[in-house]
Amino acid sequence: MDKLLTKLLLLLFVISSSVSLSAQQKQPVDYVDPLIGSHDSRWIMFPGPTMPFGMVKLSPDNQERGWKAGYDYAINNIAGFSHLHSWTMAGLLTVPANGELKIKPGTEKDPDRGYRSHFRHETEQAEPGYYSVVLDDYDVKAELTTTMRTGFHRYTFPESDSSRILIDLLTPSEYNYEIGYTNITKVSDNEIEGVSYQQSLRKANYNEYVLNFVIRFNKPFKSMNGWVKEEIYRNVEQVSSGFGHKDVGTFLEFETEEGEQIMMQTGISLVSVEQARLNLETELDHYDWDFEQVRADNKQTWNDLLSVIEVEGGSEENTTKFYTNLYRAYAGRTTWTDVNGKYMDMYEKVQQIDPDMPVYGSDGFWITFWNLNQLWSLATPDIANNWVNSMLEIYDKGGWLPKGPTGIEYSGIMVASHQISLLTNAYHKGIRNYDVGKMYEAIHKLQTVPGHPYEAGGYVGNRNLEEYIAHGYVPDEDGPVSNTLEYAYDDWTVAQMAKALGKEKDYKEFTKRAFNYKNVFDSEVGYMRRKYANGDWVENFSPFGDVTFLGSGWVEGNAWQFTYFVPHDVNGLIGLLGKDEFNDRLQKGFEESAPHKFNSEHLGDNSLHGMGVLPINHGNQPNMQAAYLFNYSGKPWLTQYWSREIMDNYYGTTPEGGWLGDEDQGQMGAWFVMSAMGLFQMDGGASVNPVYELGSPLFEKITIHLDEAYYPGGTFVIKANGTSKENRYIQSAKLDGKLLSKPWFYHKDLVDGGMLELEMGPDPNTNWGSRAEDAPPSLSTTLTEAEIDSIMAYDRQAEELAEWNRAVKAYYYHKKEHFENLPNTPDEILFLGDSITDNAEWAELFGNNPDIKNRGIGGDDTDGVLERLGEVTESQPDKVFIMIGTNDLAYGKSKEYVVDNYRKILDRIMSDSPDTEIYLQSVLPVDDQVHFTRPNADIEYINGQLQSISKELGLIYIDLASQFRKDGKMDPAYSIDGLHLNGEGYEVWKEEILRYVEE
């Protein structure tokens, strides 16, 4: 018995050792399951293979057109495998088939109506770089892998004389698209090429693109065939739809033996067929049709990326969650540059960039500062740097930073301009291999120039910025009140960038605007609230509901959620709410939302309405920060508790329960990865000195391998001793061996390497990190009260006006000496105040006539002219021409004051030099949207008064304004800046004035 027991124990030890060794050999990539969440995922979250930010995203499709189209695990048939799964973009679906020819896909419920095939999940396999499935209706095994810009298919056929591969160019997708023109051409018996001019639909109709492709086979096909609408064409060299929206495709026929493999390689490009072929040949020729090597290299690329963060001492389930979510954070976005750096810009023009610098396409960056921004800049700073350069490349070509450059178009998707945070987060973390000055110029423009439809399609800038600047909030009549909160955050990010660059005026101006969140807080109800332009609150307040997209209300959220939306000043928000109310309301919100797994989209009559039902909706972006708010309010143990609850219950490991809400290209995945490491950045890492707040790590040891090109520390290790499902609470902490008493630390302390060591336990340590001074920094605590008062009292216009006045006076006194020294000549003709200045211009304009002089400084104010009238009248000039006034208005003088000064000037001239002829020129209009201190309404009033005065005194009034006005402002054809004349403007002025000079 003892011998038998010994043998059994030895056997168990061997088995255990083998399992242990196998587990040790498992790589990060082996934990990724692309099928997780595939029952309810978006078009842009797919189970098929791609590369990090791959152009080709080759994946099975089985849903019909509409929201969240693509692949659904619950549907037991597959239509085919398409190459584009980028946001709003689709196309080029391939189907291996045999038997009866079908050119329509059929439907989910009736697949037999078309070329769809049933399949079983038992034959399905998905992993990074590889997907395979058996199409039961055709007995064909389909295998897929990819490089960055190519797809590689391996189809194992049965014996058949009717084997074929269909290529359908018009297939169902999430946004759908129309085809304007297609052409598919036979190049040889092994190769075809084609183009498809495509127009996205469903609120993405700004997105026009040409899908160019080259497809080659390892075996010659018997014939090329195709269809256009219902018409089938056999043995052709070309299939073309002509112009117009038509169903079109081709099918290549083969004879196959049992088990014969036909391999197909596809290269795509948005630039041209030649570029598609270049992508294909560059990325696949050296493999020589070795499918397994391409698959292995794809997988290795993913493993190299995923291995940047190593986790140990956690459950298999949490490790699977971790690496699958990390994978998702890099799978959804798209590289649109070809191998040689060519790409198609928003004007459909071919551009060239350094091949090593990709131009990316994506969904919008709405609130990515709570997920993707912080992960990319920490784990892969080179990719964060690429994002900045990609954005600046688009800014160069189109003049605006994009919200989400789908296909390199200005989508205008979502609200606010949180791409600012993406860029500033990179800068403040020391990621700076780009033109910093251009970056600042670009983000400054977003917060100062109102948004508008873009001439090449889409929308640029902020829709409600003009109203926001005028009122300090977005009035309910104009748009979502929640935009106030989002714009205020973006203002703060610009202010932090201005501070880093030493731009003091911008820093004060945008910091002042960052406090605008207070303008929509109603202390009576204790919530942010919708507000009319006249300052009244919108009636019938409720913390829930009022969900909107662009109209009145709360963008994809409710008042409860957006009341907590002050990422840059949580401490200031606590001051408004009171700490007890802040904490109690937040705790009750979590308790109410927990039974729904923190996801509410299913609770409304549609997903948009559902977003406003619960307090905590982790299934959408506006309050993904909620669990971390307790770090600021003295209860960090609740951050630890609720962040764990979300990780445990919202996130799953099955196709049905991977993510319950809207996983926008890896945002939820990135949140999980950061939270699983116990790290978070409330302000998106966009402060001058970024910090990380602490949560509750899932793993006993986390090693972040730092990119030494940006971060010199080598590695940063997070040890969470004793962490488990129960031991979720931090008992104590050390950073680099020193006690850490606060639930946060600086980014600079992470990237110089070292260790964060946490002791975990089953009960909260309510003394750790709970003092008021332990709260992470935010706007209201990084400034003193005196600094806040100074910033809130800051008036940039007044400061710059004072500076302007000082400069003008200095200029005036400099010129005064020159003008006083001008010799008097007989028969002088003098000009006062015109914006044509300096000696050379007068000689050029009036043929070197020495009697014509400018005795006043260009742009003079009336008070300055009054002071120097003695210089004007002492020579008893023949004629005096006067044009003064716009600078008076800029200095803050009233229009009535200007007219009164005119009368004083005229009285003096007429008294001191009675024979002088006086000509009153009308003041010229301005572009008062730019030069807003000189309103055209005031200029028109002054001109009207001058015309009356001229008639009254018998003077000559010269109406120039009508010649220089267009659409109520200065004609831009005649002005360099909407105020001063350009050369053409001078010529128009001269032509009009010359007859008065010479008469």
373 in any annotated domain? no
DSSP string, 538-578: PSS--SS--EESSSSSEETS-HHHHHT--TT-HHHHHHHH-
**Which pLDDT does position 818 carry in this prediction?**
53
Tell me the C-alpha distance between 654 and 645, whole Å.
18
Burial of 285 (0-12, 13-18, 19+ CB in 10 A): exposed
Distance of CA 920 to the CA centre of its chain: 53
**Which pLDDT does position 688 carry in this prediction?**
98
Tell whether the model's pLDDT for residue 277 goes beyond 70.
yes
- What's the sign of the alpha-carbon dihedral 393, 397, 402, 407? negative
**Which pLDDT does position 835 carry in this prediction?**
46
Q: Specify whether the CB–CB gap between 662 and 644 falls below 8 A.
A: no
Note the pLDDT tens digit of each residue in 216-237.
Answer: 999 999 999 999 999 999 999 9
- Measured from the Cβ of residue 195, the count of other Cβ atoms closer than 10 Å reads 19
Provide the token pair at 468: 């926001």
Tell me the C-alpha distance between 320 and 314, whole Å.
10
**Which pLDDT does position 698 carry in this prediction?**
98
CA distances from 575 to 173, 582, 633, 713, 749 (A): 48, 9, 10, 38, 29
Tell whether the model's pLDDT for residue 23 goes beyond 50.
no
Provide the token pair at 848: 């070197």
Tell whether the model's pLDDT for residue 533 goes beyond 70.
yes
Angle at CA of residue 470, ends 486 and 494, nearest 5°: 40
With both helix axes pointing from N to C terminus, report the angle between 436-446 and 381-398 in degrees, rounded to the nearest 10.
70
Tell me the C-alpha distance between 366 and 482, whole Å.
13
Phi first, then psi, for residue 189 (nearest 5°) are -70, -5
- The strand pair at 459-460 and 452-453 is best described as antiparallel
Tell me the C-alpha distance between 544 and 520, whole Å.
16
Q: What is the CATH number of the domain that holds 53?
A: 2.70.98.10
96 in any annotated domain? yes
Which structural domain, as residue segments, surrounds residue 231? 42-304
pLDDT band at 844 (very low <50, low <70, confident <90, very high): low
Instruction: Determine the average pLDDT of the residues in 474-491.
Output: 98
Q: What is the DSSP letter of 775?
A: S
**Which pLDDT does position 838 carry in this prediction?**
40
Distance of CA 164 to the CA centre of its chain: 43
Instruction: Determine the average pLDDT of the residues in 399-426.
Output: 94
Tell me the C-alpha distance between 877 and 916, whole Å.
6
519 in any annotated domain? no
Instruction: Determine the average pLDDT of the residues in 331-360.
Output: 97
Note the pLDDT tens digit of each residue in 648-657.
Answer: 999 999 999 8
299 in any annotated domain? yes
Tell me the C-alpha distance between 935 and 895, whole Å.
10
Provide the token pair at 509: 């101006």
178 in any annotated domain? yes
Tell whether the model's pLDDT for residue 670 goes beyond 80.
yes
pLDDT band at 17 (very low <50, low <70, confident <90, very high): very low
191 in any annotated domain? yes
Note the pLDDT tens digit of each residue in 920-945.
Answer: 999 999 988 888 888 999 999 999 99
User: Can you tell me whether residue 137 is helix, strand or coil?
Assistant: coil
Which of residues 276, 304, 332 is at a domain's end? 304
Provide the token pair at 803: 């500076």
**Which pLDDT does position 512 carry in this prediction?**
98
Tell whether the model's pLDDT for residue 813 goes beyond 50.
yes
Provide the token pair at 400: 């605006």
User: Can you tell me whether residue 384 is helix, strand or coil?
Assistant: helix
pLDDT band at 547 (very low <50, low <70, confident <90, very high): very high
Tell me the C-alpha distance between 890 and 701, whole Å.
64
Distance of CA 459 to the CA centre of its chain: 12
pLDDT band at 454 (very low <50, low <70, confident <90, very high): very high
Phi first, then psi, for residue 526 (nearest 5°) are 75, 25
pLDDT band at 515 (very low <50, low <70, confident <90, very high): very high
Note the pLDDT tens digit of each residue in 162-178.
Answer: 999 999 999 999 999 99
Tell whether the model's pLDDT for residue 239 goes beyond 80.
yes
Q: Specify whether the CB–CB gap between 684 and 373 falls below 8 A.
A: yes
Summary mean pLDDT of the chain = 92
Note the pLDDT tens digit of each residue in 83-128.
Answer: 999 999 999 999 999 999 999 999 999 999 999 999 999 999 999 9
Number of domains in the chain: 2
Instruction: Determine the average pLDDT of the residues in 617-640.
Output: 96
Give the containing element (helix H, strand E) for 262. strand 260-269
**Which pLDDT does position 162 carry in this prediction?**
95
**Which pLDDT does position 978 carry in this prediction?**
84
Q: Identify the residue with better confidence: 549 or 214.
A: 214
Q: Which residues contact 723 (CB under 8 A, 6 or more apart)?
A: 313, 314, 696, 697, 698, 699, 700, 758, 760
**Which pLDDT does position 22 carry in this prediction?**
44
Q: Identify the residue with better confidence: 844 or 463.
A: 463
Tell me the C-alpha distance between 243 and 229, whole Å.
13
Provide the token pair at 488: 């205020």
The 80-82 sheet, strands edge to edge: 59-61, 80-82, 93-97, 160-168, 248-256, 223-228, 231-233
Provide the token pair at 501: 């660059």
Instruction: Determine the average pLDDT of the residues in 557-583.
Output: 98
**Which pLDDT does position 530 carry in this prediction?**
98
**Which pLDDT does position 810 carry in this prediction?**
63
586 in any annotated domain? no
**Which pLDDT does position 995 carry in this prediction?**
86
**Which pLDDT does position 16 carry in this prediction?**
47
Tell whether the model's pLDDT for residue 37 goes beyond 80.
yes
**Percent of the chain with pLDDT strictly greater than 90:** 78
**Which pLDDT does position 986 carry in this prediction?**
81
Tell me the C-alpha distance between 459 and 880, whole Å.
51
427 in any annotated domain? no
Which of residues 304, 331, 349 is at a domain's end? 304
User: Can you tell me whether residue 930 is helix, strand or coil?
Assistant: coil
Which of residues 271, 304, 337 is at a domain's end? 304
Angle at CA of residue 173, ends 172 and 175, nearest 5°: 125
Note the pLDDT tens digit of each residue in 689-700.
Answer: 999 999 999 999
Q: Which residues contact 470 (CB under 8 A, 6 or more apart)?
A: none
Q: Identify the residue with better confidence: 129 or 827.
A: 129
Tell me the C-alpha distance between 130 and 126, whole Å.
6
Q: What is the CATH number of the domain that holds 812?
A: 3.40.50.1110
Provide the token pair at 181: 């023109």
Q: What is the DSSP letter of 699?
A: S
**Which pLDDT does position 814 carry in this prediction?**
53
